[in-house]
Structure 1
């Protein structure tokens, strides 16, 4: 089975009241952990690559690893560019075999956001590739995406129809209270997604797939374990998983998960090296890291996204 676009995935997810997991990948072990979990649970997948991951691992290496995952699992897998910041980057990924790209011009005025998105859409659609865009800005830091809390803004529902119609995008990432990175909300606060915005957006865009970025839950057991074995992560909490599940039952068809994978893998590797200080073979500590990724993804597929057995 070749790589697929997210179009059919999103149609089924919208009708079925679940979401597809979009998991960020950086190396072989992360790809293996994600795809092994999805294979066991027969779940469709979006593997996404940030510009930073592409620089780190090299486009060709990542493509071949994802192609290997398709062969090994037989699953419908979409390969997506996460937070493309220019037409040139999106074009390079399209030309290089990606089946989906995100153009993120959300920091620009709406007219410019529409113009840049439309340029990417026209090129992508000519090559059979789908496009995600963003309206509204999320706070946080993740790779090259850096937005202060002061500069973040909720999506304005009254703008979504014009944006989608004029840009031609295939899915829309909106800002309703999630944030990028592991350093999210202060302890003692209780994040609350703006379901009123999501409801109004879905009313104005019936049947249109909505995307949530920055949707990691930041499990405290992993933060504690990292700190136990030499780390110094400040306390933080993420988005409650019950709220993400509610969003998946509504119009949200794609939920991005990255920080939770990093936390699970790092905690496992730190614990392993603390317990086995004589180990120097990367296979010895990357294997439990891969298993930690697999367990985290299996949990997300079943308990948060609800997309198990939907492949």
Structure 2
């Protein structure tokens, strides 16, 4: 199957109170681990890359790996550019076959954010690609914001509605208390804020920073309107640990097929857990046809 625009699937997930997981990958083995898990679970999946990954591996290299594997399986796979603040990099991704992009201009003043997002929407929609954007700021790894700072960084429901209507985006990433990376303590998600946003915003909502969020909190977020869940750090940690353990047991080892193969299996295990958490493995059973999506 060729790569798909994920918007149809995300909207179906929205209707069924489930979520499509998006997994950030970094190399061939992590791509394989994600897709193998998705095939075995019979779940649609989004392969996500950050601009940093593209600088590391090259956009055409990553895109071709994902596109090649996608043609060999019979599940919907989307290729998504995550947290990109550059119009030019997004254009490069589109030229290389990406089917979903996120323009992240949340650090800009509101009007500048809107202006840049509108330009990306115009470009991406012209080639049939879905656009995600962000309103509110998602915290960093350490999550050391004070209460007042934390409140100031969260998405304002009325602003989210205006942002959606003004920009024409397809999905909206919101800040409700998650952070990128792993947490030092249990994150406190603002579920009432999520419900208030859901009342005003009818496009699918996206949860970033889901690595390390307790499963019950993720389920509650999905129940209240999250339709796409991003996972990154929870793949990197088991990948790294599996390689570390290999060299602890095999200090003279030097075959990347062995230690990266173990890393692939570690990634695959986590992906299966997250697919089940999001219940995305139930989605294709509700669709009579998904080749068109």
The Cα shift of 1:70 comes to: 0.7
Q: Is the 8 A contact 1:209 1:251 kept in 2?
A: yes
- How far residue 147 of structure 1 moved from its aligned partner, in angstroms, is 9.2
Aligned counterpart, 1:211: 206
TM-score with structure 2 setting the length: 0.92
Q: Distance in 2 between matches of 1:101 and 1:62?
A: 15
SS in 2 for 1:190: coil
Q: Distance in 1 between matches of 2:73 and 2:267?
A: 17
Are positions 1:28 and 2:24 aligned together?
A: no
> Is 1:305 the counterpart of 2:278 in the alignment?
yes
What does residue 289 of structure 2 align with? Answer: none
1:250 Cα deviation from its structure 2 partner? 2.5
Contact 1:26 1:49 in 2 (8 A): yes
1:252 to 216, 220, 226: 226
1:193 and 2:189 aligned? yes
What secondary structure is seen at the aligned counterpart in 2 of 1:149? coil
**2:256 is matched with which residue: 279, 282, 296?**
282
Query: Which residue of structure 2 lines up, in the alignment, with residue 221 of structure 1?
Result: none
Which runs of structure 2 are paired with 1:75-154 in the superposition (5 Å)? 75-141=75-141, 149=145, 153-154=153-154
Other-structure match for 1:235: none
| RMSD of equivalent CA atoms | 1.6
C-alpha distance in 1 between matches for 2:215 and 2:44: 20
Task: Number of aligned residue pairs: give it.
Answer: 280
d(CA) in 2 for partners of 1:121 and 1:13?
22
* Alpha-carbon offset, residue 265 of structure 1: 0.6
Q: Which runs of 5+ in 1 are unaligned?
A: 218-238
Q: Partners of 1:61 and 1:92 in 2: how far apart?
A: 12
How far is the alpha carbon of 1:148 from its aligned partner?
Answer: 7.3
Check conservation: 1:211, 1:254, Cα contact below 8 A: yes
Q: Tell me by how many angstroms 1:49 deviates.
A: 0.9
Give 3-state SS (helix, strand or coil) of 2:281's partner. Answer: coil
Taking structure 1 as the reference length, the TM-score comes to 0.87
CA contact (8 A) 2:191 2:224 kept: no
Matches within 5 A, 1:155-194: 155-182=155-182, 184=183, 186=184, 189-194=185-190
